[in-house]
Structures are given as structure tokens and as C-alpha cells.
Homo-oligomer: A and B are copies of this chain.
Amino acid sequence: MRTAVIGLGLIGGSLLRALAAGGHEVTGFDADPATRELARESGFSIAGSVTDAVRHSEVTALAVPLTVLPRVAAELAGHDGLVTDVTSVKGPVRDLMGARRFVGGHPMAGKETSGFAVSEADLFAGCAWVLCLEPHETDLADWLSLARLVTSMGARVVPVTAAEHDVAVAQISHVPHLFAAVLAEQIAGNPLAGALAAGSFRDGTRVAATRAELTAAMCGGNVTAVRGELRQLIGDLERMATALEQADPVAALIPHLEPGARARRAWPAVPGAPERLPASVGALLDLGRSGGWVTSVGDGEVVALRPESDRKLL
């Protein structure tokens, strides 16, 4: 396949390497001349502009920050190839791309470090990679060819609408960052608490050390979903606080703790046997909603895994 990668940081650089390693024709571009030079020295075909990079591309991946996407999208105005992206919010990107041939993506991969220098061809092996599928909007053939490309890099493709994706990442990443921040702030005013803090504090606040600007940009980029999920969890905490006001606070608190305890013990889910599914929008979205993913794409069907039903019911 003829491919292009725009933006050669950790994710884009790793994608460039993975596509080349998979035998695809791939051209890269980065706005930073030093990064372009570094990538060229590593033996890759690097263009001097977005337009040149995508000239013959069948699939183009935009691996630039959310704030840069509008500018890059504008540069793709005349291009009719399939475009995908790798940003961590999908609703706003879907709106931005309008009527172009586009399938939003989000590889759940990363490292503590960033930049082309630390990129690697096998970064995506085993990771979940969301590919957005909007009923009556996404071209299923485009979705399947992208899913084939992504599964060939060893990633698990999760089919999901942009709206469902944004709620899920608010739940499992963005709101946890806000929780970590308020937990960590407690020791700012109480050095004694810092001296006594151990495991539950260490783990519950780990992501609070992230730069405030990065966490704010992440949450602000997904503001509708984050606000909704945060309000929901504030309600849950309010109900716990009320339980702690009852005559028997221990008995009153238990039912508020049990669903989370069960859910955490059953996570991560153990997949059942591989199944063959028709490559239809309905079957794919049902797979994603049940916690499953595509492992390979065949002719009119996909091979998929999903959590064992007995564990789902735990």
C-alpha cells in the first residue's frame, strides 16, 4: 500500500517504522526540519511538504497534535485519498474533517518519552487501536482497509463511534487525571500526610505528576464528555458521603463499593475463543460495545475476540 505519515513524533515516527517494516511504501513529513533530517538519516523517504508527502498516498495518517490538525487538514484540501489520525479525542476531529474520506483513529500506545528519536516499529504490538465507525457516514470499505493495515501491525482494532470513544476515554483516562490531581493536592497543605503516604496514595496520584498544561489540553479537547462523566462521578461520591452520615456507615457504604470492587477484579477481561463476524457496521459496533476487538480482516468477514460472557457477568 502507498502510505504517508504527517508528523513524526513518537506515534508518527513509530507508524513510519511499522509501515516500512510491514513492506508498505511510506513517505513521511514533519514541520520541524531537524526531525525530517533525523528521519531521512534513518533511511526513510521524507517529503518537503504535506502536499508532496501525500501526492501518491492511498492512506495518510495525521500524527500531529489536535491543535495543529486544522492547519494540516486545510493543506489536504485537494487530496482524495483515505485519511486517518491518531489524536486522543474523536468527536471534534470528526467535525473538523467534514465530508472528506476519513476514518478517525486512536492507538492506545505511548511512552514516558516523546519524539522521533524514541519511536519504534513495534510500539503498536498488542495495543488497542480505536477506529471510528459512524453508521451512514463512514465508508465500510475504507474502514476495513484501515483495519487490515492496523491489525497487520499487531494492534487490536476496536470499532466504535466517535461519541462512544470520547465517553470511554473520559472515563478511563481524563477523569482519572482530575481525580489524581485533587488527591495529590491534599499533601500540598499537609506535609504530615505526605510523610505517611504509601501505596494507595502513590498509585492513585501517579498521573497527577503530568504537566498541568498537558492534562488541561487533554481534558479541554474532550470537554463535553469529561464534564458529563465528572458530574456523574461527583454524584457517586456525594452518595458515598451521605452513606457515611448514616447510623451504621459501614453497612451503608458497602453497596456503594461493591460494583467497583467486582469490576476491578474482573479487569482486564479474559477473551473467549476467536469468532468470525460478518464485516457489517452493526456487527462491528456491537463487538466494540461488548468490549471486543478485531484481530484480522478477511473477505467480507473479520476475526474477533471479546470478553468471555461469564466474566462479563461477574
B-facing residues in A155-212 (Cβ within 8 Å): 158, 160, 164-165, 167-169, 171-173, 175-188, 190-201, 203-212
Q: Contact check, B173 vs A236: say whether CB atoms are below 8 A apart.
A: no
- Write the residues of chain A forming the contact surface with B, with a CB cutoff of 8 angstroms: 108, 128, 130, 158, 160, 164-165, 167-169, 171-173, 175-188, 190-201, 203-213, 215-217, 219-221, 223, 226-227, 229-231, 233-234, 236-238, 240-241, 244-245, 248-251, 253-254, 256-265, 267-269, 288-293, 307, 312
Determine the distance from Cα of A180 to Cα of B269 in the docked complex, in whole angstroms: 18
Contact of A241 among B210, B215, B230, B293 (CB under 8 A): B230
* Known A168-B192, A238-B234, A241-B231: A260·B158 in contact at CB below 8 Å: no
Q: A172-B201, A194-B267 are in contact. List 11 more A-B contacts (CB 8 A).
A: A173-B197, A185-B263, A188-B260, A191-B307, A192-B290, A194-B268, A195-B293, A204-B204, A208-B263, A212-B258, A219-B250
* Known A212-B257, A260-B205, A288-B192: A183·B233 in contact at CB below 8 Å: yes
* Known A171-B193, A191-B291, A230-B240: A108·B198 in contact at CB below 8 Å: yes
Closest to A220 in B: B250
A241 surroundings in chain B (CB, below 8 A): 227, 230-231, 234
Contact of A260 among B185, B190, B217, B237 (CB under 8 A): B185
* Known A204-B204, A207-B204, A234-B237: A257·B181 in contact at CB below 8 Å: yes
A219 surroundings in chain B (CB, below 8 A): 244, 249-250, 253
Q: Contact check, B158 vs A171: say whether CB atoms are below 8 A apart.
A: no
Q: Contact check, A216 vs B257: say whether CB atoms are below 8 A apart.
A: yes
A195 surroundings in chain B (CB, below 8 A): 128, 158, 269, 288, 291-293, 307
Determine the distance from Cα of A211 to Cα of B240 in the docked complex, in whole angstroms: 16
Interface of A is mostly: helix
Closest to A237 in B: B234
Sample of 9 A–B contacts (CB below 8 Å) = A164-B192, A172-B196, A173-B200, A175-B183, A181-B240, A184-B267, A186-B233, A191-B307, A230-B237
Q: Chain B's nearest CB lies how many Å from the CB of A168?
A: 4
* Known A160-B192, A179-B204, A196-B108: A215·B257 in contact at CB below 8 Å: yes
Contact of A264 among B208, B244, B261 (CB under 8 A): B208
A253 surroundings in chain B (CB, below 8 A): 215-216, 219-220
Closest to A209 in B: B264
A206 surroundings in chain B (CB, below 8 A): 200, 203-204, 264
Contact of A220 among B190, B192, B244 (CB under 8 A): B244
Closest to A249 in B: B220
Q: Contact check, B262 vs A188: say whether CB atoms are below 8 A apart.
A: yes
* Known A171-B193, A198-B108, A288-B192: A184·B260 in contact at CB below 8 Å: yes
